[in-house]
Each structure stands twice: as structure tokens, then as C-alpha cells.
Amino acid sequence: MSAPLKTPRPDHLGWPAAVIFFVCTVYVQLMVWLALWAGLPTALGMTPTLILSDSMKPFISAGDVVVIGPVGDAPLKRGTVVTFDDPAQPGNLLTHRIVERNADGTYDTRGDANADEDSTPVKHSEIRGKGRILVPAVGIPVLWIRTKAVLPLAAWLGGLALALAYLSAQRRRLLALTGALVAAARGPWLRDPGARRPGRMRTAAPKLASVTLPALVVIVALLVPRTLASQAAFAANRPNGTNAFAAASSFCTPASFTLVATADARVEQARPTTNYGLDQALNVVSRTLNVNGGNGDHYTLVRFDLPARPAQCTMSATLRLHPTTVTAGRTLWAGRASATWAETGVTWNTSPAIEGAVASLTTPSTLTPFNFDVTTQVGAHYAGTNTGFLVRDSVSNNSNGNQQQIFVSREGAVGSRPELILTFS
């Protein structure tokens, strides 16, 4: 039989203390359950992921833990929240929502709070997992540690310490009281070991209180090394689109030149060692050479200084000679001289010949300028050496009398001198 108690039973509290006890227990238990929700799924192969920023608000905030589960190979649906290796910032993890699945199998993602989609699509293989469980706020103390937020951290730790201290104090008080009661209740039976002992006074409170703290420690120890930290990066972009560049249809800067000869001379077969470079007449004659000398062919040599050739242009070139005497119906040839020559030194014997293609012309009966299309020949000048032109009758030593053309040389009247007209377009 037990002594009557005048004080409340040891496992009972007055209501103010009961409220405080209730609040402290809930405060500690809340964190235990939150931590359990974040940590226990590890046993099922899931991974807790701490969210570091607010770009997935309003659903997911910094400090939340998203527990991600594995993704298979099947394509993921729009709206799925996934954690992936950030292709835009190598080394970081990103937790965003899938907005679209692209034809090439990649995904377009976006933070719910971002105005723009992430600019780099994500490959399926870069995805670490998809969101399964969202445990709000449980990671906030870790954020405080990362951002060195001393005040909130101290306040929270202080509150936790106070609550645990209060719970622990109540436990100690109960244990002390319970121990005295058991001793008192046990007393009469101590000398009779065979007698039935009363049931041990149940003390559920101390058991639970002593379980809470170790549980918290175990969960934190489980969680911390396994938790990933995921940046939910804010992003915004300003595209400057459709910059257009078009090349001109022709890269040629058109130009025209009318050049006057810088060297010219005739050479005479019957006077093979005589230079006529300073004479005012240039001859093209085809005539039989006399056995005793005299008559014979005459050729004309003419040269122009060429300007720098404009790039990317099509060129046309015309050699123009102004006649003072014409013989109609002759076929004349103008061609590139095969070697260089000096105006005041060249003679029949030292004269070059025509090299390559010839420009032909049929002589008219009137004294109109003779125009030879020497485009090919000038091209050869530009490609090689500017040797000038040689103009001759197509027939050598014609036997039908004196077939002659006479032109004004560069020593003659202005306006009648030999010209080269170049057009670049």
C-alpha cells in the first residue's frame, strides 16, 4: 500500500508548465520530423538536395530541401522539377522545371521565378534526379552557415539549446521524484523476494526526451555528407537579334582610264639597224622586200604604263591608234610583245615578235581610229611583264604593192597619240 500523496503525481504538470513543455517538445520534434523526411528517403536511394536560391519561388525557396529520386531513360514530362548539372556554369547544380522537351532529346528548363528560360538546353544524361519530396525550410540553418549569418544562427541555436535544456530539466526532476517513489513503494517487499513486485512506474516522458537528441544527431550525421547543394540560378537575357550583313553584288570599285603611250617606235625591214623611236609616224606596212634593199615590212611597237589593277573587277582594254593614211581591207594584228624594248634603241633586228593571242582588225577606208580589243594581252601584262604591243599586217611581204597604214606617234599632235582605254567594272 502506498502512502497518500498531497502533491500532484510526479508525472503530472501544472498547466503553465504543461504549455511550455508542449511548445518545447513540438519545437524540437518539428525539426526532427523535418530532418527525418529529408534524411530517411536516402535509404530508398533518393538524395536530399539543398536549394540555395529563390529562383523556383513561390513553390521552392532557398533553404528548402528537395529530395530527388532517380530518373530512368524514359522522356520526362513538361512541368517536372529536375536537378541537373548546370551547362551554363560547369561545376554547379541547378534545380529548375522542365518547360519543353526538344526534338533532339534535350530539355528546355526555367526557374519558376525567372522571366526567361534557361538559355542552354539540358541533356537527359546531365539530369541527376527529379523532385519527389519537398521538405520546407529544413536546410535554413545550413544556409546561415554558408552565408555566415551569425545572428539568425545564434538565435536558432540558442532557442534549441533552451528548449532542450528545459526538457532535460523536467526529465531530471521526474527521475528524481520517481526514484524516491519506487524506493518507497518497494520497501515492504524487499525482504520477500518471492512476492510480486509492483510494476515499475512508467516514465514515458524521460524515454522520449532522451531519444530525441540522439535521433537528431544521427539524422544530421546521415544527411550532411549526402546532401547536394543546388543553385537555382536566376537568369535573364537580352537578345540582340537578326543582325544582318550583306555583301555587295560586286566587290569592284568601277574605274576607267585613258592612257597615252609612254613609248612607241616603228621598225623597218629594209633599215634593220635604224631606230625610229622619236619619229612622229608609226607604220604598219606589208610589202615585198627589194633584192637591193628598200620597201619591205614595217611594224609598230607601243607601250603604256599600267595603273594598279583594282581587285575583284572585270577588265576590258582597247588599243586605239589614230591613222593619217589607211589602206582598206587589210587584216592587222596586235599582240603582246615577246620581250621588252627601248623606244630609242629598238630596231628591226632587235625587235620582239608577237607572243600569244592576236587581236585582229580589218582596216576601213576612212581615217577613223583603229580599235584593237587587247583585253587578253593586257591581262597577260598584269600577270607578267608589261612588254607593250606589236602591231603588224597579218601578211608578211605582200606582193601586191604597198599595203600601208600610218598612225600618229606619241611625238605627234595631242589627241591623236596612241591610247589604251582600260575599263574596270
Partner 1 sequence: MATSLRKLQFGAAAASFLLVSLLVLRVSSAAFTAQTPNENNAWSAGQVALSDSRGSGNAMFDVSGMVPGQTVSRCINVTYTGTASNARVRLYAPTVTGTLASHLNVTVTPGSFSSHTYPNCTGFTASGGAAVNGMALNTFGATHGSFANGVANWDTSGSPQSRGYRFDVTLSSGAPSSAQGTSAGATFTWEVQTYVP
Could you tell me which residues come within 8 angstroms of residue 255 by beta carbon, excluding any fewer than 6 positions away?
310, 313, 422, 423, 424
Looking at the Cβ atoms of 164 and 270, the one nearer to partner 1 is 164
Could you tell me which residues come within 8 angstroms of residue 18 by beta carbon, excluding any fewer than 6 positions away?
none
Beta bridge partners of 303: 263
Q: Kindly report the length of the chain.
A: 425
Looking at the Cβ atoms of 240 and 292, the one nearer to partner 1 is 240
Helix axes 15-39, 150-186, angle to 10 degrees: 120
- Per the CB < 8 A criterion, the answer to whether 132 and 47 are in contact is no
Q: Name the one range near partner 1 by CB under 8 A: 183-191, 204-212, 287-295, 349-357.
A: 204-212
- Residue 115 C-alpha from the chain's centroid: 23
Which parts of 213-232 interact with partner 1 (CB under 8 A)?
231
Residue 200 interacting with partner 1 (CB under 8 A): no
d(CA 23, CA 35): 18
Q: Name the one range near partner 1 by CB under 8 A: 7-15, 256-264, 361-369, 404-412.
A: 7-15
Q: Quick check: bond before 58 cis, omega within 30?
A: yes
3-state secondary structure of 8: coil
The sign of the CA dihedral 40, 42, 47, 50 is positive
Query: What is the smallest separation between the CB atom of 209 and partner 1, expressed in angstroms?
Result: 7
Query: What is the smallest separation between the CB atom of 124 and partner 1, expressed in angstroms?
Result: 17
Residue 8 interacting with partner 1 (CB under 8 A): yes
- Per the CB < 8 A criterion, the answer to whether 119 and 45 are in contact is no
Q: Which of 105, 161, 188, 234: binder of partner 1 (CB under 8 A)?
A: 234
Query: What is the smallest separation between the CB atom of 216 and partner 1, expressed in angstroms?
Result: 13
Residue 249 interacting with partner 1 (CB under 8 A): yes
Residue 133 interacting with partner 1 (CB under 8 A): yes
Looking at the Cβ atoms of 2 and 249, the one nearer to partner 1 is 249
Which parts of 68-87 interact with partner 1 (CB under 8 A)?
77-81, 87
3-state secondary structure of 153: helix
Query: What is the smallest separation between the CB atom of 128 and partner 1, expressed in angstroms?
Result: 15
Beta bridge partners of 295: 289
- Per the CB < 8 A criterion, the answer to whether 422 and 256 are in contact is yes
Residue 15 interacting with partner 1 (CB under 8 A): yes
Residue 34 interacting with partner 1 (CB under 8 A): yes
Query: What is the smallest separation between the CB atom of 240 and partner 1, expressed in angstroms?
Result: 5
Q: Name the one range near partner 1 by CB under 8 A: 21-29, 301-309, 358-366, 404-412.
A: 21-29
SS (H, E, C) 337-350: ECCCCCCCCCCCCC
- Per the CB < 8 A criterion, the answer to whether 406 and 325 are in contact is yes
Which parts of 293-332 interact with partner 1 (CB under 8 A)?
311-312
Q: Which of 134, 263, 374, 420: binder of partner 1 (CB under 8 A)?
A: 134
Residue 233 interacting with partner 1 (CB under 8 A): yes
Which parts of 44-63 interact with partner 1 (CB under 8 A)?
52-60
Query: What is the smallest separation between the CB atom of 86 and partner 1, expressed in angstroms?
Result: 8
